[in-house]
Amino acid sequence: KCHMHIVHLSDAGSLDLIRETKSRHDTNLTVETCPHYLLLDSDSSTPMTVLTKCFPPIRDGVNRQKLWNDGIQPGLIDMIASDHSPCAPELRNKPFEEAWGGISGLQYQLPAILTAMKSSGIYADDDDMFISLAGLWSERPAQLVPGLAKVKGKLEVGMQADICVWNPDHVGKLADAAKEHHRWKGASAFLDMNLNGRVLATFV
């Protein structure tokens, strides 16, 4: 039987079909969504601009919460991926219909998803939240590639030491850490948002 992986799930209306399919073929279907679908919505106080233009599009707040309640919480959504899609500034500096479509800001994915988790309302406490974060970002993605989970996805003796050092208590805007923009400063969808957590170092 062939394994099927759904990428960039943004529409909570698809969850019923995913639930039905997983009930019959639970080892053959995996699903991912992205931080921007879990943090941003089209009817919030944050306006949709060329920085938030992506495919599939960001949807309304009701849809966003359903992704948490009906997708992440029961395990229908297996993992979270970045969908990092950067471009040169001149490709974004155009009218909305003509501008590049894709969310940029790979280095801010962890603060973005932690911020979304804290506001989701589905976690009993921080321990519950961080265990979920490790599964969604590390453990289950490593299981996608045959054999990869033997060396990646967990902090255990014998595993490759891919480690992120970060401060989960930090709250601030990206502009406050502007020197850390590694490419095309000002091109992130998460600009001017108060995000939770700050990456201090990465070891691979």
Map tokens 């991912």 to a residue: 32
pLDDT, residue 85, reads: 86
The Cα–Cα gap between 173 and 186 comes to: 12
pLDDT, residue 38, reads: 97
pLDDT, residue 180, reads: 57
pLDDT, residue 161, reads: 87
CA 63, 80, 55: angle at the middle one, nearest 5? 60
DSSP, collapsed to helix, strand or coil, labels residue 170 as strand
The Cα–Cα gap between 90 and 198 comes to: 29
pLDDT, residue 175, reads: 64
**For the chain (length 204 residues), average pLDDT per consecutive 10?**
92 96 82 96 79 93 97 97 86 91 85 96 96 96 94 94 91 69 69 88 88
In contact, 153 and 138? CB cutoff 8 Å? yes
DSSP, collapsed to helix, strand or coil, labels residue 44 as coil
Query: Could you give the strand order of the β-sheet that contains 4-6, starting from the edge strand earlier in sequence?
Result: 4-6, 29-33, 79-80
Its pTM stands at: 0.92
pLDDT, residue 9, reads: 98
pLDDT, residue 129, reads: 97
